Amino acid sequence: MKLTKMAMCVGVALALGACTLPPTLEGSAQDQDTTVAAPEIKTTYAMGEQVELVGALYVAQPLEKVQQRFGADQLCSNVTIYNPTDSILDFSLFDFKVQNPNGEQLNPSLTVEGALQTGSLAYEGRTSGLVCTDDQGPGDYAVILDPLWGWEEPVLWIQTL
């Protein structure tokens, strides 16, 4: 019975304006701005900058010219992948592309010695390998991470040569 009388007293006090509600509770829902801005997701990085995606860590080192015994010179980035999670992480050379100054996003060259392989990383597993493309001369290049199982936006490491 005490609770009912107390609730009635509070109700009467509110109705008579004897007390006010905190500012966050006053007004109608229409008066309050309920818009929540989505956090901006960073997708462009400098070469050598570490990126964390789905718990795994990725780094693409600056592109360097690699001379081949056969064929054209290549521009290669040494890519490192580290899995600190307790889940198995699948990876592949084909998770990456290289964009040349013409804007072409090409699959990496397969014929380069030391190219990133395809496999899985267990807990605290680490791998690295080269992601390469034909040298198209000076301009803006990007190493692009866009796995088949991926996320909404590809990640780009940018470099001007």
Domain boundaries, given as residue ranges, for the chain: 2-31, 44-160
Closest CA to 144 of 161, 135, 156, 132: 156
The answer to whether the beta carbons of residues 43 and 153 sit under 8 Å apart is yes
**What count of other Cβ atoms lies within 10 Å of the Cβ of residue 23?**
7
- The more confident residue out of 97 and 28 is 97
pLDDT of residue 68: 80
pLDDT of residue 28: 47
pLDDT of residue 38: 57
CATH number belonging to the domain at 44-160, selected among 1.10.3720.10, 1.10.3470.10, 3.40.50.720, 2.60.40.1240? 2.60.40.1240
pLDDT of residue 22: 42
pLDDT in tens, 54-111: 899 999 999 999 988 777 889 999 999 999 999 999 999 999 999 999 999 999 998 7
